[in-house]
Amino acid sequence: MQKINLSIVIPSLDTGGAESMAYQLAKKIDKDIFNLNFICLYSSNGTPFEKELINSGVNITHLNKKLGFSLITYLRLWKQLKIHHSNLVHTHLGACLYAFPWTLFHNKKLVHTVHNVPLKELPFLHRIILKILYRSKKAIPIAISDTIQRQISTYYQLKTENIQVVYNPVNIDLFIPSKTTVNNGGIKFICVARLVNQKNHFTLLKAFSVVNKKIPTSTLLLAGDGELMEELKKAAIKLNISKHVVFLGNVENIPMLLQTSDIFVLSSIYEGLPMTILEAMGAKLPVIATRVGGLPDIVKGNGILVEPNDSDGLASAMIQLAEDKHLRQKMGCLGFEMSKKYDISIIANQYEAIYKKFSL
């Protein structure tokens, strides 16, 4: 059987949800069926995702794009797709802007995964181009949750049946807690997210200051880096919780951190479907998150949803779970069972079916 020439194109393999999804998919996809061409627009940063993909035998081509619009990147990507004789191109984030001319000229389908709320995912020009491509059926949108599918339908004025839904993946085997990973200290809350405005850590810190007064042995772990690091550290000092908040920066041992924590918290003001929520579910952690994006699609009985920017509601939920071990365990077990249907082996099969359908 002749292999399908598939190109996956993404800006980079830096730490992030879209990058994690693309990396997991590229690693898992059936190489006996697909001849994979993995392309990053920017230069190599030697990230863990890059290293693991290379170690698994996936070749990565870097186009060395600089910041801002780049005509040379169009030409370099065109050349790569031509050499590969791509039957289908799967783009993520802003890579769609550079891939669509080749797919249009060669009458090939562009598959684009929408990783966030449509209005927030990409700059205006990208969205205009995608709308034209979607409505002319030259590009296929993939939503990462049912809620995001409805938002794509409304924003781009598409019929829902023309929007594929494939949830984000999680590698369950990496996150299942072992019998030796036990938290012997006080209650540990953990948030894994970039330190940027979208994730709204200031509301989380304000909520935790209330929690810590009631439960002095509690700790908040913040895994992730970003532009707000110093401001958040100052906020923690101002709230008198700096001794109980640990800024970990970018870390590679996320599975171990989750396995030795008690409660996962995410206070975003908007989201698509965060990979970290699925990972927390895989680690049997109860989840507290804001009612935004695709989160209501996966937080059903396995956690508590609160309104964005509601620090009092967030604090109340954190205290409730901190004081009820039985409820934590019940929610954690339910979340773990739910996470199994998002295992990367299942999600990869769903993407493979889409690739086969649209590469004809």
| pLDDT tens, per residue, the chain with 360 residues | 789 999 999 999 987 889 999 999 999 999 999 999 999 999 998 888 999 999 999 999 999 999 988 999 999 999 999 999 999 999 999 999 999 999 999 999 999 999 999 998 899 999 999 999 999 999 999 999 999 999 999 999 999 999 999 999 999 999 988 755 555 668 999 999 999 999 999 999 999 999 999 999 999 999 999 999 999 999 999 999 999 999 999 888 899 999 999 999 999 999 999 999 999 999 999 999 999 999 999 999 999 999 999 999 999 999 999 999 999 999 999 999 999 999 999 999 999 999 999 986
Write out the DSSP string of 225-266: --TTHHHHHHHHHHTT-GGGEEEEES-S-HHHHHHT-SEEEE
pLDDT of residue 183: 59
Helices 71-84, 96-105: inter-axial angle, 10-degree rounding: 50
Give the sheet arrangement for strand 4-10, strand by strand. 60-62, 34-40, 4-10, 88-92, 109-114, 139-143, 164-165
- Cα 13 to Cα 96: distance, rounded to the nearest angstrom: 16
Phi, psi of 284 (to 5 degrees): 65, 35
The encoded tokens of residue 63 equal 């186009």
Contact between residue 297 and residue 145 where contact means Cβ atoms under 8 Å apart: yes
Q: pTM to 2 decimals?
A: 0.90
Contact between residue 255 and residue 174 where contact means Cβ atoms under 8 Å apart: yes
- Cα 170 to Cα 182: distance, rounded to the nearest angstrom: 22
Q: Is the Cα torsion angle 41, 45, 51, 54 positive or negative in sign? A: positive
CB atoms within 10 A of CB 64: 14
Beta bridge pairs of residue 190: 221, 264
Contact between residue 34 and residue 7 where contact means Cβ atoms under 8 Å apart: no
Q: Give me the helices (H) in 44-90, please.
A: 48-55, 71-84
Q: 191 in helix, strand or coil?
A: strand
- Cα 119 to Cα 65: distance, rounded to the nearest angstrom: 25
Residue 337: HSE in the Cβ half-sphere, 13 Å Cα cutoff: 8
The encoded tokens of residue 185 equal 């200290």
Contacts of 187 (CB under 8 A, 6+ apart): 215, 217, 218, 219, 262, 263, 322
pLDDT of residue 337: 96
pLDDT of residue 164: 95
